[in-house]
Amino acid sequence: MSAMVIDGKAAAAQVLEQVSAEVAQLNQAGVQPALAVILVGQDPASEVYVRNKVLRAGECGIRSLEHRLPASTGEAELLGLIHSLNRDPGVHGILLQLPLPAHIEETRALQAISPAKDVDGFHAENVGGLHQGRDVLTPCTPTGCLHLLHQALGELRGKHAVVIGRSNIVGKPMAALLLEADCSVTVLHSRSRDAAELCRQADIVVAAVGRPCMVDASWLKPGAVVVDVGINRIEEHGRSRLVGDVDFASASAVAGAITPVPGGVGPMTIAFLMHNTVRAARQQSRAPKEAACLSIS
Ligand code: NAD
């Protein structure tokens, strides 16, 4: 058996096309969606992510406002910037690129972002809302994974999903989104026992661990749909390349469908950042007073 390869690039292009159409509609209503991107320090990987996000925003017609701060920036200064962006009616989304320098408390900085402008879906108000089944901004990577799963499987109701990894950014929100989609959800983590055996019971596997090629064919039930979130750089035969958390060659002999790395989940993350920005712009332009109330000043 050879698994169907789920094309994340094509799915992302479709999402971005819809985003562009919505931007055009908002423009007609006099709204120019705008995303503020804050980068503290010069982490090379973060520089690449920020560049890609700004590029994609421009392609969709979203205005991006880059705030590049030196690594020495104090927490109070960063919070001051976030508060002023919260108050600015011309800014609809605020993205704080992680990781932050060690002297800045990540949770405090993320909590300072107005929930209405929290396009990463990391604010406790949005995290809680997701768990209560409310219609809130949700984290981009797991939302992109859910979209791919709907494309591959249609209805997810009643399926057994195994999420490997329990981070706040991917694993936990992924589990919550799958639960909302009426799946039965098992979350595996570094302390789980019999992980491969539990995983073999799944109709859906989402791997978000950060360990190259950890999940192979022996972890999978025949026909399972596998979404590989992992991005790991490995050295092989003197060359460096990106691999996921899933051993693609081995797993695709057993799985029904599988995302590749690269070209699977990665493009979906940026597409859903744009989706969330337009959604935030639409909500704020419909209810400017409400958005202002949520803003922390
Ligand atoms: P993280 O380090 O915060 O979390 C990793 C999780 O894996 C932890 O919850 C841990 O309990 C679990 N884990 C570790 N060893 C395990 C084991 N042996 N068995 C089962 N679980 C184990 O990582 P993260 O931020 O969630 O990212 C995970 C991976 O996804 C990384 O490779 C990261 O680069 C990638 N990622 C990709 C995207 C994207 O857009 N494609 C976005 C975010 C993260």
What are the tens digits of pLDDT across the range 176-208?
999 999 999 999 999 999 999 999 999 999 999
290 pLDDT exceeds 70? no
Is 283 annotated in the active site?
A: no
Distance 166 CA to ligand 1 centre (A): 7
Could you tell me if 94 and 144 lie in one domain?
no
**Statement to judge: residues 229 and 182 lie in one domain:** yes
- Least confident span in 59-63, 123-127, 175-179, 285-289: 285-289
> What local confidence, expressed as pLDDT, does residue 287 receive?
53
pLDDT of residue 181: 98
Label residue 1 by pLDDT band (50, 70, 90): low
Q: In sequence order, what DSSP letters do the residues of 97-164 get, joined into one string? A: PSPPPTTS-HHHHHHHS-GGG-TT--SHHHHHHHHTT------HHHHHHHHHHHHHHS--TT-EEEEE
Let me know: does 195 contact 164? Beta carbons within 8 Å. yes
Say if CB 181 and CB 156 are below 8 A apart: yes
Nearest to 262 by CA among 220, 225, 232: 232
Is the CB of 243 inside a 6 Å radius of any atom of ligand 1?
no
Cα(21) to ligand 1 centroid in Å equals: 33
Across 84-109, average pLDDT? 98
Q: Which tokens hold the place of 5? A: 């390869």
The number of folded domains in the chain is 2
**Do 106 and 192 belong together in one domain?**
no
Indicate which atom in ligand 1 lies nearest the CA of residue 244.
32
φ, ψ dihedrals at 99, nearest 5°: -80, 160
Asked, for residue 273, whether it belongs to a domain, the answer is: no
Pocket test for ligand 1, best of 229, 268, 273 (most atoms within 8 A of CB): 229
Do the beta carbons of residue 124 and residue 111 sit within 8 Å? yes
Does residue 260 line the site of ligand 1, with CB under 6 A?
no
Among 289, 286, 239, 282, CA closest to 18: 282
Question: Is residue 131 situated within a structural domain?
Answer: no
Give the burial string for 20-34 (b: 16+ CB within 10 Å, else e): bebbeebeeeebebb
Is 18 a domain residue?
no
We report the CATH number of the domain holding residue 46 as 3.40.50.10860
The verdict on residue 150 lying in a domain is: yes
| 210 in contact with ligand 1, CB cutoff 6 A | yes
Query: Average of pLDDT values for 48-70?
Result: 97
Q: So what's the pLDDT on residue 295?
A: 38
Judgement on whether residues 152 and 238 belong to the same structural domain of the protein: yes
Judge if the beta carbon of residue 144 lies within 6 A of ligand 1.
no
Q: Which long-range contacts (CB under 8 A, 24 or more apart) does 131-140 make?
A: 131/176, 133/180, 137/276, 137/279, 137/280, 138/173, 138/177, 138/276, 139/169, 139/170, 139/173, 140/268, 140/269, 140/270, 140/272, 140/273, 140/276
Would you say the CB of residue 286 lies under 6 angstroms from ligand 1? no
Is the residue at 56 inside a domain? yes
d(CA 3, CA 5): 6
Catalytic residue among 117, 118, 120, 228: 120
- What residue numbers bound the domain in which 60 lies? 30-118
Q: Are residues 173 and 246 in the same domain?
A: yes
Residue 79 resides in a domain? yes
- Residues 170 and 146: beta-carbon distance below 8 Å: no
Residue 293: which pLDDT band, with cuts at 50, 70 and 90? Answer: very low
- The answer, yes or no, to whether any atom of ligand 1 lies below 6 A from the CB of 86, is no
* pLDDT bracket for residue 291 (50, 70, 90): very low
Q: Is residue 99 over pLDDT 80? A: yes
CA-to-CA separations, 277 to 39, 73, 117, 210, 212, in angstroms, rounded? 17, 26, 8, 27, 32
Q: Is residue 14 part of a domain?
A: no
Are both 98 and 188 inside the same structural domain? no
> How does pLDDT run across 105-125, given as a tens digit for each residue?
999 999 999 999 999 999 999
Band of the pLDDT at 20, cuts 50, 70, 90?
very high
Q: Tally Cβ neighbours within 10 Å of residue 52.
A: 15
Digit-coded pLDDT (tens) for 138-166: 999 999 999 999 999 999 999 999 999 99
Q: Is the pLDDT confidence value at 169 over 80? A: yes
Task: Tell me whether residue 97 is one of the annotated catalytic residues.
Answer: yes
pLDDT at 81 over 80: yes
| pLDDT of 46 higher than 50 | yes
User: Coil, helix or strand for 49?
Assistant: helix
Tell me the pLDDT band of 286, cut-offs 50, 70 and 90.
confident
Q: Ligand 1 center to residue 71 CA distance, Å?
A: 25
Distance CA 271, CA 185 (A): 25
DSSP three-state, residue 4? strand
Q: Dihedral sign, CA of 139, 144, 150, 156?
A: negative
pLDDT above 70 coverage of the chain, percent: 96
**Structural domain includes residue 128:** no
Active-site residue, 182 included: no
Q: Calculate mean pLDDT across residues 278-293.
A: 72
Mean pLDDT of 35-57: 96
Amino acid residing at 235? E
